[in-house]
């Protein structure tokens, strides 16, 4: 699995129009916190049980229309959940998986807040809320 910071991931998406950005956060995070413009939403896990979706890889495979060689960039809140999702995609045969470091909201700061030290939104990249 490759790892790119948010700006490099955005540049990669611009340079590789066949690549797809998958937001693997929960539906609530995707809708209310915001998400990168153009991101496909496929949740890795959902509340309240937080169980990993056993069909995650199959759902992403549908997004890429069965092309497991198509570049898939994964973004979550802070760049950790997406690593596990990426491992699952690689285990399912995906060959070009890229984790977006820092995620959408970035790491916690000293006051336990996100969005002040890094992340897609902090870096000023295109995003929207539903």
Alpha carbon distance 114, 92 (integer Å): 32
Torsion sign over Cα 67, 85, 35, 14: negative
For residue 38, the domain's CATH number is 3.40.250.10
The boundaries of the domain holding residue 27 are 2-128
pLDDT at 47: 85
Q: What pLDDT band is residue 109 in, cutting at 50, 70 and 90? A: very high
pLDDT at 130: 83
- Preceding peptide of 48 cis, ω within 30°: yes
Query: Which tokens is 76 given?
Result: 């979550």
Q: Residue 115 above 90 pLDDT?
A: yes
Q: What's the structural domain count of the chain? A: 1
């Amino acid at each position: 699995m490759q790892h790119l910071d948010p700006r490099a991931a955005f540049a990669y998406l611009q340079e590789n129009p066949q690549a797809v950005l998958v937001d693997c956060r929960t539906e609530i995070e995707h809708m209310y916190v915001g998400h990168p413009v153009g991101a496909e939403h496929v949740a890795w896990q959902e509340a309240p049980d937080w169980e990993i979706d056993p069909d995650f890889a199959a759902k992403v495979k549908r997004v890429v229309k069965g092309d497991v060689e198509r570049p898939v960039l994964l973004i979550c809140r802070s760049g950790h959940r997406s690593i596990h999702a990426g491992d699952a995609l690689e285990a399912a045969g995906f060959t070009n998986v890229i984790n977006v470091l820092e995620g959408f909201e970035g790491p916690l700061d000293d006051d336990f807040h996100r969005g002040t030290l890094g992340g897609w939104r902090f870096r000023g990249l295109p995003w929207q809320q539903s």
